[in-house]
Amino acid sequence: VADLDAMIAQLRVAGAEVDDQTQQMDGIGRFGWVTDPEGNRIELWEPEEQG
């Protein structure tokens, strides 16, 4: 995703079950998780900017 914080906020407003924590991995980016209505956990990834 282009903006993890914005996506998480949008999902929460829509009533999605979003994990409270995110994870930063140096050289890779940031990760967050949401659970879909069927109980599947989905990982969101905001790539680290290169440059």
3-state secondary structure labels for all residues of 1-51: CCCHHHHHHHHHHCCCEECCCCEEECCCEEEEEEECCCCCEEEEEEECCCC
Give residue 14's pLDDT.
93
Query: The domain containing residue 22 runs over which residues?
Result: 4-47
Q: What is the pLDDT of residues 1-51, one digit of tens each?
A: 999 999 999 999 999 999 999 999 999 999 999 998 899 999 999 999 877
Per the CB < 8 A criterion, the answer to whether 32 and 4 are in contact is: yes
**Phi/psi of residue 14, nearest 5 degrees:** -80, -5
pLDDT for 50: 78
Q: What pLDDT is attached to residue 7? A: 97
Report the distance separating Cα 1 and Cα 6, nearest Å. Answer: 9
pLDDT at 4: 98
Tell me how many domains the chain contains: 1
pLDDT of residue 44: 98
Give the pTM: 0.87
